């Protein structure tokens, strides 16, 4: 099978769950966070492309739950367990949370990348899911790809070689 035939793509404010032999990818991670949660023994993984830290500020009651750290991570865990993952064996890898634009000092409101990172880290900690590795911050966008067969997260940044964590 050609590698490109089994890559499942995750859009912005979206999530998917996969099993081997599939690979999961998302691109366009600027201030957004890509959260991969996986069960290594079962070889099932999910990826959420999180846009904002908290759903409590959403203006619509029917807002997309995959858009926010607090609701997307819970949805992802629920779908992983429904696909055979064992909650006590879940681990996470995260990437993104860049500061894509420069704002005046003291403008914490616009530091969405760091706010997203903090929200994801807090949510995973509250749910007792360890973050095995991360590549967050900076000012460069990322594309990430996770292979549940190897539990490796491939990270590509603009004008940089890919790294695996």
Dihedral over alpha carbons 39, 45, 50, 56 (to 10 degrees): -50
CA torsion sign for 53, 12, 143, 164 is positive
H or E, element range at 20: none
Catalytic site includes residue 32: yes
What 8-state DSSP symbol labels residue 101?
S
Is residue 109 exposed (0-12), middle (13-18) or buried (19+ Cβ within 10 Å)?
A: exposed
Q: Which of 32, 44, 77, 90 is catalytic?
A: 32
Q: Name the residue among 25, 74, 32, 65 with its Cα closest to residue 51.
A: 32
Q: How far, in Å, CA of 81 to CA of 149, rounded?
A: 18
- 124 — phi, psi (to 5°)? -65, -40
So which residues are the catalytic ones? 32
């Amino acid at each position: 099978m050609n590698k490109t035939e089994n890559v499942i793509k995750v859009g912005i404010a979206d999530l998917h769950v996969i099993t081997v032999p599939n690979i999961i990818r998302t691109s366009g991670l600027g201030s957004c966070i890509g959260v991969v949660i996986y069960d290594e023994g079962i070889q099932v993984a999910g990826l959420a492309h999180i846009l904002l830290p908290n759903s409590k500020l959403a203006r619509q009651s029917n807002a997309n739950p995959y858009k926010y750290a607090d609701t997307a991570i819970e949805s992802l865990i629920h779908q992983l367990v429904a696909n055979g993952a064992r909650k006590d064996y879940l681990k996470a890898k995260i990437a993104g949370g860049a500061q894509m634009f420069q704002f005046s000092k003291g403008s914490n409101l616009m530091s969405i990348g760091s706010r997203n990172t903090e929200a994801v880290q807090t949510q995973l900690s509250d749910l007792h899911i360890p973050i095995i590795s991360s590549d967050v911050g900076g000012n460069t966008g990322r594309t990430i790809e996770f292979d549940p067969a190897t539990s490796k997260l491939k990270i590509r940044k603009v004008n940089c070689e890919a790294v695996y964590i």
